[in-house]
């Protein structure tokens, strides 16, 4: 497995096991941990479902060596960081969202640097 493939594989596991499972199995705990608001916990469980599905796509892309997807994940994870920062600046979320932004930025950076080699 190349470094770029490994970066996608690890990020996919993060999406499945941390974000996906966290939001599906204990949504209010995760939301409270990061001081994020919620109404009924149904919508966040759907977010967890979507995150886990996207995580599977990352695993498949890594295993199947889908290099065009490697490049696009760098763009899209960077977009996530910009979006989260905008939400923070607009006062829609608390500073704790920077934890998720940092994970996305680190994952995008890892993949980007791996692709450059």
pLDDT in tens, the chain (117 residues): 899 999 999 999 999 999 999 999 999 898 888 877 777 778 889 999 999 999 999 999 999 999 999 999 999 999 999 999 999 999 988 898 899 999 999 999 999 999 987
Nearest to 64 by CA among 116, 113, 117, 12: 12
104 is written with which tokens?
């996305």
For residues 1 and 9, the answer to whether their CB atoms sit within 8 Å is: yes
What is the value of pTM for the model shown? Answer: 0.84
């Amino acid at each position: 497995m190349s470094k770029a493939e490994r970066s996608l594989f690890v990020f996919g596991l993060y999406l499945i096991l941390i974000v996906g499972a966290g939001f599906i199995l204990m949504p209010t705990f995760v939301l409270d941990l990061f001081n994020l608001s919620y109404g009924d916990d149904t919508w966040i469980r759907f977010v967890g479902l979507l995150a886990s599905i996207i995580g599977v796509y990352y695993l498949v892309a890594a295993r199947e060596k889908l290099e065009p997807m490697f490049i696009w994940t760098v763009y899209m994870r960077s977009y996530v960081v910009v979006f989260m920062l905008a939400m923070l600046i607009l006062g829609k979320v608390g500073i704790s969202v920077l934890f998720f932004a940092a994970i996305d930025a680190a994952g995008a950076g890892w993949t980007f640097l791996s692709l450059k080699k």
